[in-house]
Structure 1
């Protein structure tokens, strides 16, 4: 299988890290949906990252669906989701909040960096900025005493939340300060030290 997309995308990066942690073999092709549009279009006319090119040549998009496929095809016994029902609920809840933070951060990036300055909406920027901060504040309050968000090992919640946090810092330096979300900042730093995260590093 081949994973196509840039690692500075939170959705590509969470997919890459998930595959590595699940032991799913794949090749990574780093293509930008902007700079490499023609080449990306030849692989997938949707030009959507991440794109997973399956062994039979078919393509799949959407990070959550691709990760679900990895979960179903990983080595038996390997999973990034807790088996316990209560912990699974918590994991999915926190994963959804991490996805929300990533989505709002992407929206803010497009509005402030991609859209022409004269067409930008200050009201929209203020709104998504508030949503980003509120989401991280919510996550910060739910970081518990365990090593990770849902127990003693990293799960999909840790991956998604940490990836979103790094993306926000990368695209909007100073927007969220570690001192305002100390528990979340500590969790993200711990995650970034994992081999799968280091393999998905970007500048």
Structure 2
């Protein structure tokens, strides 16, 4: 398999960590959606990452679709999320919050970097959504009785939230008040101490 995209993307990082935890081999092509747009477009007409090229040539082009395929390869006994029931729905909600947090953080970057006159209203809306998600995740984390969200080992929920937190801290340090969110900060630190998180990492580089 070939994973396209740079690890400073929380979405690419999330997929790469899952691949490693599943023990699946892959080739990494750290292409930028700006500097390498034409190369990415040859595989994905949306020119977005992550893009995963399967061994047979099939191309998966969205984070959720990619992770769904990886879960299928791993099998229900090894998947990084519960197979069914309330625990699965809860995990999917945490993943959605983490993914949405990352999306809003990326939107803020594009708004400021690509528009000569950024929209103050849009920035305020995105920042409000970021802070709202952080508060909700902090509340959700209050009930954790295990090192990770659903047990003793990280799952998709942990990866999604930790990758979004790291990206937010790197790209928008003023929006990730760790002292005010002690449970989230501790969860992120716990994840970042794992070897796979340290291996799959890249400093954030603003779009040129």
The equivalent of 2:115 in structure 1 is 116
Scaled by the length of structure 1, the TM-score of the pair is 0.93
> Does 1:187 find its partner at 2:179?
no
Contact 1:23–1:74 (8 Å) recurs in 2: no
> Does 1:3 find its partner at 2:27?
no
The equivalent of 2:27 in structure 1 is 27
Q: Evaluate the alpha carbon distance shift between residue 158 and residue 40 of structure 1 in structure 2; reply closer, same or farther with a 3 A threshold.
A: same
Stretch moving more, 171-180 or 153-162: 171-180
Superposed displacement of residue 75, structure 1: 6.0
Q: How many residues align?
A: 201
Match of 2:125 among 124, 127, 152: 127
Cα distance in 2, alignment partners of residues 138 and 75 from structure 1 = 31
Cα distance in 2, alignment partners of residues 63 and 80 from structure 1 = 14
The equivalent of 2:39 in structure 1 is 39
Contact 1:6–1:31 (8 Å) recurs in 2: yes
The equivalent of 2:166 in structure 1 is 166
> Does 1:12 find its partner at 2:12?
yes
The equivalent of 1:92 in structure 2 is 92
Contact 1:82–1:155 (8 Å) recurs in 2: no
Offset from partner CA, 1:73-93 (integer Å, 9 cap, x none): 126732101247332222111
Unpaired runs of at least 5, structure 2: 204-208
Stretch moving more, 85-94 or 176-185: 85-94
Contact 2:6–2:31 (8 Å) recurs in 1: yes
Unpaired runs of at least 5, structure 1: none
Superposed displacement of residue 8, structure 1: 0.8
Superposed displacement of residue 53, structure 1: 0.8
The equivalent of 1:154 in structure 2 is 154
3-state SS, counterpart of residue 170 of structure 2: helix
Cα distance in 2, alignment partners of residues 44 and 194 from structure 1 = 31
